[in-house]
Amino acid sequence: MQQKIDILSLTLQDLQQQLLSQGQKKFRAIQIFEWLHQKLIFSFEEMSNLSKHMQVQLNQQYVIAPMRMVQELISMEDRTRKYLFELIDGNVIESVFMPYQHGNSVCISSQVGCKMGCTFCASGLDGFFRNLSASEMLLQVYHIAKHTGERISNVTVMGTGEPLDNYEELLTFIRILTSTEGYQLSGRNITVSTCGIPPKIRQLAEEKLQITLALSLHGATQEKRRVLMPIANRYELSEVMEACEYYFSKTGRRMSYEYSLVHGVNDTEEDAVELIQLLKGRNCHLNLIPVNPVTELSYQRPNRTTSLTFKNKLEKSGINVTIRREMGTDIDGACGQLRRSFHQDNTTTIVH
């Protein structure tokens, strides 16, 4: 029996080629693509400008991969919403909706589990299972948009997983999300976060996309990164930074650096001095992120005074720096926490 094609993972050009080879008119692909990616309709029967015969044909040849929301947590502090979605194979992934004055942002996962093993993060505690398809990445955005009734204006691929470890599906996801016939999200409103895989960063630079690339730095020296990030055992920090400079030179897009502040580990005055030496003179923005405590891990966030002192020292040296607003701390805000609690709690309420 022929396996059905995942239609949500097809770019418009791919869908057009598929339908043309089946004797359909080219405009049909645009109609279907708009139903899927503009109107967010995930049933061929609801595509009212298609004939019943064509709806039957589509059902025979294509599948719209199901994704079910199994849990929603809403922060009482800042209206952040955290979602747990069940995939077709029973795996679960998490996504976050964050309302800001400048627009609504969604943070999505790119993998089920994570193989990077950062020592302060819950995402990889249960190991790595598989990559997400482009459609599974898109559906996180689309389901949250439909559920909240809100237009999503910014997307960050910064949840569970290493996006550049799922490179081809990531590219397809970006191309579909930014398509003028689709959701029409500006590439400038997409941020992709990576632990730092130089060959993939350079490959991404050649795509000349207008997305923002964010490097999870977390340590200003090779030695400090090794403590927090096993990926540093494979790639030298100098090699990673050279790849980031290459990305900037090819795209003109300012680099963003993420630095999780961990109490007593990387928040000292010496750490600030090393960070200044690393970033001074670079066209970049630094996000300081007081780490979200994870029950299974020993790391703690620094207090507000320590975080501000660290930030001020960087600012005085000319570094463009902000402390990221803490959101969702009362709803298992850290990556991977909700998914782990779901597996550990068989009494979770299912939301239909």
Q: What is the pLDDT of residues 19-70, one digit of tens each?
A: 999 889 999 999 999 999 999 999 999 999 999 999 999 999 999 989 999 9
Whole-prediction pTM value? 0.90
State which residues form the domain around 312: 77-344
- pLDDT, residue 139, reads 98
- pLDDT, residue 56, reads 96
Of the listed ranges 70-84, 155-169, 182-196, the least confidently predicted one is 70-84
- pLDDT, residue 329, reads 61
Does residue 336 have a pLDDT over 60? Answer: no
Cβ neighbours around 82 below 10 Å, total:
22
Residue 39 shares a structural domain with residue 129 = no
- pLDDT, residue 221, reads 96
Of 240, 236, 288, 235, nearest to 262 by C-alpha is 288
Residue 30 shares a structural domain with residue 139 = no
Q: Structure tokens of 262?
A: 């961990």
- pLDDT, residue 118, reads 87
Residues β-bridged to residue 287: 258, 322
CATH code for position 31:
1.10.150.530
Q: How far apart are CA 249 and CA 255, in angstroms?
A: 10
- Domain closes at, from 41, 63, 85: 63
Of 82, 88, 89, nearest to 109 by C-alpha is 82
Of 344, 253, 250, nearest to 295 by C-alpha is 344
For residue 337, is it within any domain?
A: yes
Residue with more model confidence, 2 or 121 = 121
pLDDT tens track for 173-188:
999 999 999 999 999 9
- pLDDT, residue 351, reads 35
Task: Tell me if residue 335 is catalytic.
Answer: yes
Residue 34 shares a structural domain with residue 94 = no
Residue 42 shares a structural domain with residue 146 = no
Of the listed ranges 30-39, 187-196, 290-299, the least confidently predicted one is 290-299
Q: Give the contacts of 251 (CB within 8 A, at least 6 positions apart).
A: 205, 208, 209, 210
Residue 37 shares a structural domain with residue 138 = no
- pLDDT, residue 333, reads 52
Residue 179 shares a structural domain with residue 296 = yes
- Domain closes at, from 14, 38, 63: 63
- pLDDT, residue 350, reads 33
The count of structural domains within the chain is: 2
Average pLDDT (288-301) is 76
CATH code for position 249:
3.20.20.70
For residue 351, is it within any domain?
A: no
Residue 155 shares a structural domain with residue 241 = yes
Residue 150 shares a structural domain with residue 296 = yes
Residues 201, 164 contacting (CB under 8 angstroms): yes
Q: How far apart are CA 55 and CA 322, in angstroms?
A: 51
Query: Kindly report the CA angle at 171 between 190 and 42, in degrees rounded to 5?
Result: 85
For the range 229-232, what are the long-range contacts, defined as Cβ-Cβ under 8 Å and sequence gap of 24 or more? 229/116, 229/117, 229/118, 229/119, 229/195, 229/196, 230/116, 230/117, 230/118, 230/119, 231/116, 231/195, 231/196, 231/197, 232/196
pLDDT tens track for 298-320:
778 899 999 999 999 999 999 99
Of the listed ranges 16-25, 262-271, 328-337, the least confidently predicted one is 328-337
- pLDDT, residue 325, reads 73
Residue 145 shares a structural domain with residue 84 = yes
For residue 352, is it within any domain?
A: no
For residue 249, is it within any domain?
A: yes
Residue 81 shares a structural domain with residue 23 = no
- Percentage of residues in the chain having pLDDT higher than 90: 78
For residue 68, is it within any domain?
A: no
Of 55, 37, 34, 38, nearest to 46 by C-alpha is 55
Residue 300 shares a structural domain with residue 260 = yes
For residue 98, is it within any domain?
A: yes
Q: How far apart are CA 319 and CA 311, in angstroms?
A: 9
Does residue 347 have a pLDDT over 50? Answer: no
Task: Tell me if residue 107 is catalytic.
Answer: no
* Catalytic annotation, pick one of 86, 94, 296, 326: 94
pLDDT tens track for 227-239:
899 999 999 999 9
Residue written as token pair 């309420």: 349
User: How much helix, strand and coil, in percent to the nearest 5, is found in the chain?
Assistant: 40, 20, 40
For residue 349, is it within any domain?
A: no
Average pLDDT (105-126) is 87
* Catalytic annotation, pick one of 114, 118, 121, 335: 335
- Domain closes at, from 63, 94, 113: 63
Please say whether the dihedral angle defined by the alpha carbons of residues 329, 152, 108 and 69, taken in this order, is positive or negative.
positive
pLDDT tens track for 209-259:
999 999 999 999 999 999 899 999 999 999 999 999 999 999 999 999 999
For residue 23, is it within any domain?
A: yes
Residue 153 shares a structural domain with residue 107 = yes
Does residue 345 have a pLDDT over 90? Answer: no
